C-alpha cells in the first residue's frame, strides 16, 4: 500500500515538473486551413509532437482575424495568420514563411502579359 502511494506521489511530482517546463499541458493553436496541407505549419505541428509527446495540441482552423481576436482574449495561445498587423502592442509576431500564389488564366489573356499582377488589375476582368 505504502509503495503504491509513494509511486503515485512520484508520478504526480514528475508530471508537475514536466508541466512547469512546458513539456506537458495544452497548447491551443489556430491556423488557416490552406496553411495546414504542407510547409511550415504542419511541419511545426509534427516537430512539436516529436519533442513534446506529453503535451496536448489543440489545433483550430480559424480565419486570421478570428485567430488574432482569440489570442487577444486568451482563447488561443498562438496562431499562424496572414497579414499580421505590423504595429500591434498586444501581440508579438515573427514571419515563418512566404506563399506564392498564382492566377491561372486562359493562354493569351491580357492579365498574363503583366509582369506584376495586383488585385486592382483584375477589376474589369
| pLDDT (tens digit per residue) in 44-62 | 888 988 888 888 888 889 9
Per-residue confidence (pLDDT) for residue 62, from 0 to 100:
92
Tell me the β-bridge partners of 12: none
Pairwise pLDDT comparison (67 vs 16), residue with the higher score: 67
12 within a domain of the structure (yes/no): no
79 within a domain of the structure (yes/no): yes
* Domain hosting residue 66, numbered range: 24-83
Structural contact between residues 82 and 41, judged by C-beta atoms closer than 8 angstroms:
no
88 within a domain of the structure (yes/no): no
Structural contact between residues 22 and 52, judged by C-beta atoms closer than 8 angstroms:
yes
Global pTM reads 0.61
Check which CATH number belongs to the domain holding 34 and give it: 3.40.190.10
Q: How confident is the model at residue 15 (pLDDT cuts 50, 70, 90)?
A: low
Structure confidence by residue, pLDDT tens digits, 57-93? 888 899 988 999 999 999 999 998 887 777 778 888 8
68 within a domain of the structure (yes/no): yes
- What are the strands of the beta sheet with 55-61, ordered from one edge? 55-61, 25-31, 78-80
Total domains in the chain come to 1
Q: How confident is the model at residue 21 (pLDDT cuts 50, 70, 90)?
A: low
DSSP-assigned letter for residue 28: E
Output phi, psi for 122, to 5 deg.
-95, 5
Model confidence at 9: pLDDT above 70: no
Amino acid at each position: 500500500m505504502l509503495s503504491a502511494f509513494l509511486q503515485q506521489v512520484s508520478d504526480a511530482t514528475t508530471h508537475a515538473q514536466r508541466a512547469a517546463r512546458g513539456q506537458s499541458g495544452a497548447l491551443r493553436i489556430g491556423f488557416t486551413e490552406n496553411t495546414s496541407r504542407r510547409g511550415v505549419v504542419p511541419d511545426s505541428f509534427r516537430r512539436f509532437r516529436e519533442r513534446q509527446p506529453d503535451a496536448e495540441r489543440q489545433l483550430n482552423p480559424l480565419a486570421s482575424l478570428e485567430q488574432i481576436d482569440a489570442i487577444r482574449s486568451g482563447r488561443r495561445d498562438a496562431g499562424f495568420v496572414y497579414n499580421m498587423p505590423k504595429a500591434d502592442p498586444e501581440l508579438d509576431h515573427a514571419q515563418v514563411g512566404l506563399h506564392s500564389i498564382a492566377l491561372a488564366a486562359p493562354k493569351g489573356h491580357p492579365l498574363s502579359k503583366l509582369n506584376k499582377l495586383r488585385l486592382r488589375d483584375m477589376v474589369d476582368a
